[in-house]
Structure 1
Amino acid sequence: MKISTYNIWNNDKDFNSRLELLIKVIIEFKLDIIALQEVRSEEAVKFIASKSSLKHYCWQAYPDCEEGLAIISKYPITFNWNNWSNNIDFHNSGVINVSIEVCNKKIGITNIHLDYKRALNREFEIVKIIKRIEDNEINDYEFIVGDFNTYPNSSVHNYLIGGQSLLGHSTSFIDLYDSYSVRTNYNKDVTLDFYNNPRWDDEYALDVPGRFDWILLMNPYPKAYPHLVEYRVIGNERVNEITPSDHYGVFCELKL
Structure 2
Amino acid sequence: MREGPSHERPRRDAAFSRRRGVGGAGGRDSAARSRHGRRDDDELEDARDMSDEAAKVDRLRVATLNVWNKSGPWLDRRTLIREQLEELAPDIVGLQEILELRVGDNAMNQADELLPEGFHRAYGASHEMSGSWVPEGQHLLFGNALLSRFPIRAHFVHPLPGEDLSDQKRTLLHAVLETPFGVLDVFVTHLNWKLEEGWIRERQVKEIARLIGEKARDDGRYPPLLMGDLNAEPQSDEIRYLGGYTRLGEERTVRFTDVWSYGGVGPGHTFDTIRNRFAGQYPEPPRRIDYIFVRGPAHDGRGRPMRPRIWAHRDENEIFPSDHFGVACDFAV
TM-score (norm 1): 0.89
1:104 counterpart (170, 181, 198):
181
Deviations 1:187-209 (A, max 9, x none): 250100111102156x3x44110
**CA contact under 8 A between 1:144 and 1:216: conserved in structure 2?**
yes
Deviation at 1:54, TM superposition (A): 3.9
AA matched with 1:48:
L
Deviations 1:76-123 (A, max 9, x none): 113342123xxx755532321111122222221110100012111111
Q: Tell me what 2:270 maps to.
A: 191
Equivalent positions of 1:1-256 (< 5 A) are 1-41=60-100, 42-49=108-115, 52-65=116-129, 66-84=141-159, 89-91=161-163, 92-117=169-194, 118-138=197-217, 140-169=222-251, 170-181=253-264, 186-187=265-266, 189-200=268-279, 203=281, 205-256=282-333
**CA contact under 8 A between 2:97 and 2:143: conserved in structure 1?**
yes
**CA contact under 8 A between 2:294 and 2:303: conserved in structure 1?**
no
Distance of 2:145 and 2:79 partners within structure 1: 17
Structure 2: state its 5+ residue gaps: 1-59, 101-107, 130-140, 164-168
Distance of 1:247 and 1:137 partners within structure 2: 28
SS at match of 2:273: coil
SS at match of 1:62: strand
**CA contact under 8 A between 1:54 and 1:72: conserved in structure 2?**
no
Deviation at 1:152, TM superposition (A): 0.6
Bigger radius of gyration among the two: 2
**CA contact under 8 A between 2:271 and 2:288: conserved in structure 1?**
yes
Call closer, same or farther: CA 1:165–1:211 in 2, change over 3 Å.
Answer: same
Call closer, same or farther: CA 1:222–1:69 in 2, change over 3 Å.
Answer: same
Distance of 2:180 and 2:283 partners within structure 1: 46
Deviation at 1:14, TM superposition (A): 0.3
Deviations 1:220-248 (A, max 9, x none): 44453334332110111211221110000
More helix by share: 1
Deviation at 1:212, TM superposition (A): 0.5
**CA contact under 8 A between 2:267 and 2:288: conserved in structure 1?**
no
**CA contact under 8 A between 2:223 and 2:298: conserved in structure 1?**
no
**CA contact under 8 A between 1:93 and 1:122: conserved in structure 2?**
no
SS at match of 2:114: helix
Moved over 6 A (4+): none
Distance of 1:89 and 1:237 partners within structure 2: 35
Moved more, 27-36 or 137-146: 137-146
Distance of 1:234 and 1:32 partners within structure 2: 14
Distance of 2:300 and 2:250 partners within structure 1: 27
**CA contact under 8 A between 2:271 and 2:323: conserved in structure 1?**
yes
Distance of 1:229 and 1:221 partners within structure 2: 14
AA matched with 1:177:
W
**CA contact under 8 A between 1:83 and 1:90: conserved in structure 2?**
no
**CA contact under 8 A between 2:120 and 2:148: conserved in structure 1?**
yes
Moved more, 136-145 or 229-238: 136-145
Call closer, same or farther: CA 1:105–1:94 in 2, change over 3 Å.
Answer: same
Structure 1: state its 5+ residue gaps: none
AA matched with 2:125:
A
Call closer, same or farther: CA 1:235–1:221 in 2, change over 3 Å.
Answer: closer
SS at match of 2:94: strand
